[in-house]
Structure 1
Amino acid sequence: MFKIHPAEAKDAAEIAELIHASTNAWYLSHGRDKIFLCPPEACGLFPEVYEDLDPGCCLVAQSAANGRIIGSCFYHPRQTHISLGIMNASSEFAGGGIASALLDDIIGIADERELPLRLVSSAMNLDSFSLYSRRFFHPYAVYQDMFFRVPSGGGLHLMDLPLERVRPATLDDVKAIDRLEQEVWRTSREGDWRYMIANQRGYWHCSVIERNGEITGAMASIGHPASNMIGPGVGTSSIEIAALIVAELNQYPGQTPVALIPSDNPKLVAIMYALGGRNCELHLAQAYDRPPIIEGIVMPTFMPETC
């Protein structure tokens, strides 16, 4: 038996341990390498960032027997939608209904606020796919997880990419980036972009690309022991998005960042292969109720998961 309630500040270390242990256990049990090669405490990134962005928006399942946290899930309310973030349940309690109970509570929050609910989940994990599809989630986009080996000196480049039009993002760009997201997929995450560009934690980087004086693409990235990823990103041109990806990859010389590349954009996928990108997993963007209409390019990420 367990009870579900909002997480408290004192739960952060236990949530980090749960995320680290349960995620790695799932991948190892399915013949894959661990996802988190960092120590468990590094997964404190998740409660840290999400408390910054969305205070009080984490639910935990607590064992009635011993008070341990045996499940957790973050959710991210935005003006246009709610995103379901990383969900974890202790492998010791597999099949105990923890994930179902957490998901039902967050669906209830979305229904109460009359907002669409979205998530990005592994196409490999049929258990989670079944969990979501039983509750009327349906896929609307497929993403290829691709990793890139950035040379120790940086300097990744391909001919014909307009890198000269890429520059670091500033806080003055936030309104323009938000307008671009609303044009491309009717989504507003102004606070997320402000947070990442301000970079008070010290592990974000953001770039924009301009065309005729207007911002036509934006890309963020994170460099942290628990997450080294390119994204989120949004734009209107495959070539411009590719230039932004290269600019962000070059922030991490000697590392192997991961990016989620939309599979329905063969031109962008081909450019990523030319950059040396290699597939490591597939993810599905799914929606409960209304899926977004994407009229451009959208790249999700797992930090922050505000897709």
Structure 2
Amino acid sequence: METITLRRLQPSEWAAEAQLIALSTNAWYQASGKPAIFTGNLQDCEVFCQVYEGLDPGCCIVMEEIPTGKLVGSCFYHPRPTHISVGIVNTHPDYFGHGIARRMLDEVIGIAESEKKPLRLVSSAMNLDSYSLYTRAGFVPRMLFQDMLLADTSRLPAPDPRIRPVTAADIPTLVALEKTKSGIDREHDYAYFCKNALGIWSGSVWQESGVIGGFLFAVAYPASNLLGPGFAKTEEIAAALLAAERRKHPANPVFLVPAHCEKLIQTVYRWGARNCELHVAQIRGAWQEPEGVVFPTFLPE
């Protein structure tokens, strides 16, 4: 480990970082008997650098092997007014079990503690190594999510007339809704989605009598097809938003549904959705129980 140094990712290293993300993610899934996640052009994973660095420049910790200069670990993080989120964390397969992820996580923990903010993340419940990493570091599992896919949209309900596209003018209302009901502020993220400089984001809001009851964003890109993030006051509103975004999504996106939302889970089952994985929301520090339906995502977390 004396040949490994910790520093920040440089813009000239985005291609190498994309390769690390694809290699480490695929290696874990394949070692677990599952198909690789990234099967197309591995450089498509550079979108993580584009989005994360576009949102929070300089907020990616990397571990470099000396003297080769090879990146053997990376960890993105996202400072927000109410918290810090831990983004995608990767370790080169040659360094699995060498404490790379813990060194990077400790760096982010130090940043959060210095700013007196809680740390938040969403991790795979099927990867016990990462689950143990986070719980050993003081994270507490708070919510379980079912990762779901809906390949056939023929059973989706008719479009809800209360659903419309999100606009930049909606951002203050979305932020206030989420902060009141979940205790977090992600205005920076929502402004970024609405600006949509990369042309890969969409979003919907549910509105009745001038009152917004929920919203859902989505990303469509070869390396990341996801519905989320979003929030809804009720499971009925959540279902309407899911149907709206799934209907206009060009691929077969993954979406995460809180496992305790029984009516919503049964609704998407009736549509033909199936489970593909489980994820856990983990918090290190203060936590507010959400009053409604939370849709997490992985880009950004």
How would you bin the TM-score normalised by the shorter chain? Answer: over 0.9
Instruction: Tell me which residue corresponds to 2:84.
Output: 82
Residue 156 of structure 1, CA deviation? 5.3
Moved over 6 A (4+): none
The answer as to whether partners of 2:47 and 2:223 remain within 8 angstroms in 1 is yes
Instruction: Tell me which residue corresponds to 1:231.
Output: 228
Instruction: Tell me which residue corresponds to 1:240.
Output: 237
Q: Select which of 9, 15, 18 maps to 1:16.
A: 18
SS in 1 for 2:213: strand
Residue 291 of structure 1, CA deviation? 2.2
Instruction: Tell me which residue corresponds to 1:259.
Output: 255
Instruction: Tell me which residue corresponds to 2:217.
Output: 220
C-alpha spacing 1:150/1:200, structure 2 compared with 1 (3 Å): farther
Aligned 1:1-307 pairs, distance under 5 A: 1-151=3-153, 157-158=156-157, 163-253=160-250, 255-305=251-301
TM-score under structure 1 length normalisation: 0.95
The C-alpha deviation readout for 1:76-118, integer Å capped at 9, x for no partner, is: 0000000000000000111111101000000000000000001
| Residue identity in the other structure for 2:175 | D
SS in 2 for 1:105: helix
The answer as to whether partners of 1:150 and 1:249 remain within 8 angstroms in 2 is no
**Alignment partners' CA distance in 2, 1:298 and 1:220:** 12
The C-alpha deviation readout for 1:20-41, integer Å capped at 9, x for no partner, is: 0110010000000111122110
| Residue identity in the other structure for 1:295 | E
The answer as to whether partners of 1:100 and 1:131 remain within 8 angstroms in 2 is yes
**Alignment partners' CA distance in 1, 2:67 and 2:268:** 50
**Alignment partners' CA distance in 1, 2:37 and 2:284:** 27
The C-alpha deviation readout for 1:149-193, integer Å capped at 9, x for no partner, is: 145xxx65226xx71100001111011111111111011101111
**Alignment partners' CA distance in 2, 1:64 and 1:288:** 32
Cα RMSD of the aligned pairs, angstroms, is: 1.2
Percent of paired sites with the same residue: 43
| Residue identity in the other structure for 2:282 | Q
SS in 2 for 1:65: coil
**Alignment partners' CA distance in 1, 2:124 and 2:233:** 26
Residue 71 of structure 1, CA deviation? 0.3
SS in 2 for 1:115: coil
The answer as to whether partners of 1:150 and 1:252 remain within 8 angstroms in 2 is no
The C-alpha deviation readout for 1:184-214, integer Å capped at 9, x for no partner, is: 1011101111111221210100000012211
**Alignment partners' CA distance in 2, 1:197 and 1:56:** 22
SS in 2 for 1:175: helix
SS in 2 for 1:149: coil
SS in 2 for 1:129: helix
The answer as to whether partners of 2:204 and 2:244 remain within 8 angstroms in 1 is yes
SS in 1 for 2:205: strand
The answer as to whether partners of 1:208 and 1:219 remain within 8 angstroms in 2 is yes
